[in-house]
Amino acid sequence: MVEPLTVVGSLAACLQLAKWGIQFIELLTDHHEHARFFSSDTISHLSEDINGFLLIARSINPKSCKVATAAILESYINRCTSIATRIQITLSPLVIGNDDSTRVKFRKIASFRKKTKNIARLLSELERCKAGLHLYLSSLPYQGTDLQDTTQINLPLPCQSPTLKGIILDLPPKLDFIGREPLISLVLQCLSSQSLGRKGALVGLGGIGKSQTALECAHRIRELSPNTSVFWIRASNHTTFMQGFTHISQHIFLSREGDPGIVDIKEILAWLNSSACGPWLMIVDDIDLATFGDREVLDQFLLDNKFGSILFTTRNKQSALALVGRRSTFFMAPMAIPEARQLLNSELDSNTPSRGDSMPLLTHLNCLPLAISQAAAYMRMKSMSPTAYLELLNETENGALPLLGEPGAADLGLSRSSLISSFVSIDAIKSQSLVAGSILFTMACIEPSRMPRSLFADGKTLIQLCDAFGLLKAYSLITSNEANYIFSMHSLIHSSIRSYLKSNNIFQTHVIETFRLLAGKFPKPTEQYLKLSECDLYLPHALAVWKLTAESENGSLIYSIGYHIAEQFASRISRFLRIKGRYNESKKFAERAHEWAQKEYGLLSARSLMCRSNIAIIDHYLGNYKASAKAIDDILLTQVGLLEAKDPAVVSTLSRKAESLRAQDKHEEAENYYRQAVLISESIHGPDHLKTLDAKHGLALCLLGQTKYAQALTLLHLVLDAMQDVLGSDNPKTLSVLSNIGCTLQLQQRWPEACAITQRVLAGREAQLGARHPHTLQCKANLAELYIQHNDLEGAERLTREALHGHQETQGKDHPLSLHILNNLALVLHKRGRLEEAERMFARAVSARERVLGDEHHDTMASLSTHCKVLRDMGRFGEASGVGRRVLSHRRRLLGEGHPDTIAIQSLVEELESGGVRFLARERRVDSDETVVGDGSYELR
């Protein structure tokens, strides 16, 4: 039996051999790319490298290993040395000697240039041997040794016990792939190389085969390592990129047993970089940083990558270099003629006449795979020969030549061959099916990925839909998922169809029709809580068509569509963005809706006032309480007549007015408005209508603010039961009521019940809204306060810091809820006895609340009160006394002498003015009457 160290030594030598091979390939590739800049020493250096390669290869003694291992290693080494020797024989006569004349030197350099293709072919064979060798070594039971230190190559190996492994998500089906073997070998090696960050990028013209090459790489990795998960994300813009991540998040959430799951993007990134996910490959398709938008998530995604590999496809060379660097960027050329002919023949059937004469057609199509596939699909459908199809192309091209000169064509990566092939297919589809043509033109106006079948279903029977989509798939214009419900389109085909519409002067007509279609299909505000997944699916398409219309010159398209339709669409998008916690985006749409409502209906119309009310609601969520309150007051003044007539339009305004008062701690006034809203809504809609339940929910919170806990809890349970019947248990509205039940139990000091409910709400919100939604973060902060009651101060601090960091990032440091969580963090630090940190944190909270909310706001006073106690505990009695007197004056004026809070602060001030004698005489502690629930911890709905 051979010693283990001898085996390890042989394996290390093999890995070193692989390292030398890769370095040599990279060096030769670099010189081949820059052949014009060769110096006379270049070939000599390359020859020395290959000699070093052979020296290491011949020094390996595989016979020192076990018989089975030795045989395989010897086979790999013999193949590697055989190929390397052939390269050496090619290079030897080209080495430039010192005695060579200038003429001989130039002749040798020219000869080298001619032979680089042959050398590159040999090197690709060498690289495949090396890749196979490395995969074999990674399967041996020596992974515990530090072999990877001998090389900079590191294939992602399966984790020992991954939580999830072998997932395939959104990966297109495997196709018969032809050619590109050297390129695929290099890409696979790059994706396994630790020194290159296991990241690569394919760059080339649209239609050249980047996505298909990436797909082939993915399937080969799956064949070699079935436990490797593969994710496919379209990244033509930030919206589709985030939608892809959301889909991954939802899949992981549904796949975990006994785990509520986390659908937050950043936490998914953390999961991908943990051992729980297992090895993975992610294809990020069709990315262009010039038009991508916000890169925050993308940059974090690229920052750290421990367990997976990332492959980008892009038409933009600068994007590839910025994402992965020069060494990991692979430039794709058109297919060679033999490969292009093989591709064409594989996609034609036996009915195609005279397929042998295809060279002129392939040359005309520039050997672009996408154009060849479209041509083959057309010839197959029409039983047309390549010669006849070429004649048709030439005829069509004459009409499209002006379009090819448009400035935008080059920017989109539109080639003459792919554009004309698309035009021919479009004309054929129009002649065969008006339904298919209509669907195709609608697709050109929305996002080309994840297009739901339901979007195109209006006015069509199921048979018509199936026939239409079948026709589009037959012409290779679209692909679908296995269930045939979600469709995607290559971005180049998408651009070609838009060009076709523009060339026929009908693009704006179809944009208007698509806008109207989506305005009607996007769920109404009253339905959105019931159709969250449908809204998620429609949102990228809504934003895409919105961009084409709302940003048109002088709003000409909006005028053609109609202000009433545009306002309806903007209001619906705004409402859904508000549900998703994207308040700033929501406000932009709400403002446009208000603008168009005024133009269509008038300044003081019910619709205009409703739009203005929506802006006020968003301002409330953004923490702009004063602006929100003023807007609601103005609206209410204009609706006095409606109030007397008990008009349904006034119910929302009354609720908004009450919510504004509640935010100012004016709970008794707010209660009156809520009761009016409940009465009017019950008389019009009934007791279990959502508007009535919303008003009752607000009324319960007013009772909670007046410490009427029993009444509030009874009403909240009634609302919860009704909402569960209407919306279901996991709906965000239902979870909001349940959360406030938890807060009520918390205020009643029923800690175990409150903790169980808050944990349930947190799990539901992470699943439905995401871990970084403002409501989820607030729930996490409430749960942290409950941890204090279980004496888990460390857990309480961790959760509070997470909630604070998330809310400050999403809503800003000056948002009132961010300041509330900051104040809670100071309370936790005080509890833990870290007085100096707590004092600094309270000082920050007080300063920020004075600036944002005002000196006399009740939240400012709450921070001052607890700050006073921290100063007392630090022995700074004089400072504490001054702060305490300020709070006492405020509470006497607003709450009265007999209020418990006034009595508590008065007792504290008297103690401080006595020099802290009573405090020093007893054990130092946080006052038992202090509520660790924090100020106003119940929900901001």
Distance, CA of 285 to CA of 304 (rounded, Å):
20
Residue 42's pLDDT is what?
A: 56
The pLDDT confidence band at residue 17, using thresholds 50, 70 and 90, is: low
Distance, CA of 198 to CA of 154 (rounded, Å):
8
Residue 539's pLDDT is what?
A: 92
Who contacts 102 (Cβ-Cβ below 8 Å, separation ≥6)? none
Distance, CA of 890 to CA of 213 (rounded, Å):
71
What's the token pair of residue 554?
């002088």
pLDDT digits (tens, 9 = 90+) for 793-848: 998 999 999 999 888 888 888 888 899 999 999 999 998 999 999 999 999 999 99
Strands (E), 252-372: 280-285, 308-314, 329-331
* DSSP assignment string, 428-441: HHHHH-HHHHHHHH
Residue 172's pLDDT is what?
A: 67
Q: With the C-alpha atoms ordered 734, 738, 741, 746, is the resulting torsion angle positive or negative?
A: negative
Residues 316/331, Cβ–Cβ less than 8 Å: no
Residues 610/652, Cβ–Cβ less than 8 Å: yes
Among residues of the chain, what percentage have pLDDT more than 70? 70
Matching residue, tokens 């539901």: 764
What's the token pair of residue 844?
């920050």
Mean pLDDT of 418-426: 71
Residues 135/128, Cβ–Cβ less than 8 Å: no
5 or 688, which is more confident: 688
Residue 370's pLDDT is what?
A: 78
Total count of residues recorded for the chain = 941
Who contacts 803 (Cβ-Cβ below 8 Å, separation ≥6)? 777, 778, 780, 781, 784, 821
pLDDT digits (tens, 9 = 90+) for 36-48: 444 455 566 666 6
Axis crossing angle, helix 793-811 with helix 774-789, rounded to the nearest 10: 160
What's the token pair of residue 431?
């002649």
Asked whether residue 111 carries a pLDDT value surpassing 80, the answer given is no
Residues 178/343, Cβ–Cβ less than 8 Å: yes
SS (H, E, C) 361-429: HHHHCCCCHHHHHHHHHHHHHHCCCHHHHHHHHHHHHHHHHHHHCCHHHHHCCCCHHHHHHHHHHHHHH
170 or 728, which is more confident: 728
What's the token pair of residue 689?
């209508």
The pLDDT confidence band at residue 699, using thresholds 50, 70 and 90, is: very high
Asked whether residue 13 carries a pLDDT value surpassing 70, the answer given is no
Distance, CA of 517 to CA of 459 (rounded, Å):
11
The secondary structure of residue 486, as a DSSP letter, is E
Nearest to 873 by CA among 816, 925, 827, 911: 925
For residue 876, the SS3 value is coil
- End-to-end CA distance of the chain: give it in Å, rounded: 73
What's the token pair of residue 849?
């609340």
Q: What are the φ/ψ torsions at residue 200 (nearest 5 degrees)?
A: -145, 165
Mean pLDDT of 581-590: 90
Residues 848/819, Cβ–Cβ less than 8 Å: yes
Among residues of the chain, what percentage have pLDDT more than 90? 15
Can you say how many angstroms the Cα of residue 821 is from the centroid of all Cα atoms in its chain? Answer: 26
Q: What are the φ/ψ torsions at residue 143 (nearest 5 degrees)?
A: -70, -15
Residue 91's pLDDT is what?
A: 67
Nearest to 311 by CA among 207, 394, 443, 221: 221
Distance, CA of 678 to CA of 722 (rounded, Å):
15
Reported for 679-685, long-range contacts at CB under 8 A and 24+ positions apart, including other chains, are: 680/646, 680/648, 680/650, 680/651, 680/654, 681/648, 681/651, 683/646, 684/646, 684/648, 684/651, 685/648
Distance, CA of 226 to CA of 205 (rounded, Å):
32
Give pTM, 2 decimals: 0.61
683 or 923, which is more confident: 683
Residue 517's pLDDT is what?
A: 92
Residue 199's pLDDT is what?
A: 87
Asked whether residue 146 carries a pLDDT value surpassing 60, the answer given is no
Nearest to 29 by CA among 111, 105, 122: 122
Question: Which residue(s) pair with 230 in the sheet?
Answer: 168, 281
Which of 64-78, 131-145, 280-294, 829-843 is the most confident on average?
A: 829-843
Residue 931's pLDDT is what?
A: 33
Residue 315's pLDDT is what?
A: 83
Distance, CA of 560 to CA of 345 (rounded, Å):
48
Distance, CA of 171 to CA of 519 (rounded, Å):
31
Asked whether residue 865 carries a pLDDT value surpassing 70, the answer given is yes
Distance, CA of 71 to CA of 196 (rounded, Å):
31
Lowest average pLDDT, out of 81-85, 177-181, 241-245, 279-283, goes to: 81-85
Distance, CA of 655 to CA of 632 (rounded, Å):
10
Distance, CA of 549 to CA of 565 (rounded, Å):
12
Identity of residue 689: H
The pLDDT confidence band at residue 556, using thresholds 50, 70 and 90, is: confident
Matching residue, tokens 């349940």: 738
Mean pLDDT of 242-258: 61
Distance, CA of 665 to CA of 658 (rounded, Å):
11
The arrangement of strands across the sheet holding 486-488 comes to 451-452, 486-488, 479-480
CA-based angle 7:9:11, to the nearest 5? 70
Asked whether residue 584 carries a pLDDT value surpassing 70, the answer given is yes
Distance, CA of 585 to CA of 568 (rounded, Å):
16
Asked whether residue 920 carries a pLDDT value surpassing 50, the answer given is no
Residues 222/215, Cβ–Cβ less than 8 Å: no
Mean pLDDT of 779-804: 89
Distance, CA of 95 to CA of 50 (rounded, Å):
12
Asked whether residue 924 carries a pLDDT value surpassing 50, the answer given is no
What is the rounded average pLDDT for all residues in the chain? 76
Residue 573's pLDDT is what?
A: 93
Which of 349-353, 354-358, 727-731 is the most confident on average?
A: 727-731
- Helix, strand, coil distribution of the chain in percent, nearest 5: 70, 5, 25
Mean pLDDT of 266-273: 69
Residues 358/386, Cβ–Cβ less than 8 Å: yes
915 Rama sector, left if φ>0, alpha if ψ -120 to 50, beta otherwise: left
For residue 254, the SS3 value is helix
The pLDDT confidence band at residue 158, using thresholds 50, 70 and 90, is: very low
The pLDDT confidence band at residue 427, using thresholds 50, 70 and 90, is: confident
* DSSP assignment string, 574-641: HHHHHHTT-HHHHHHHHHHHHHHHHHHH-TTSHHHHHHHHHHHHHHHHTT-HHHHHHHHHHHHHHTHH
Residue 325's pLDDT is what?
A: 86
Who contacts 139 (Cβ-Cβ below 8 Å, separation ≥6)? none
Asked whether residue 898 carries a pLDDT value surpassing 60, the answer given is yes
Q: Considering just the CA atoms, what is the radius of gyration of the chain in Å? A: 34
Matching residue, tokens 């401080």: 912
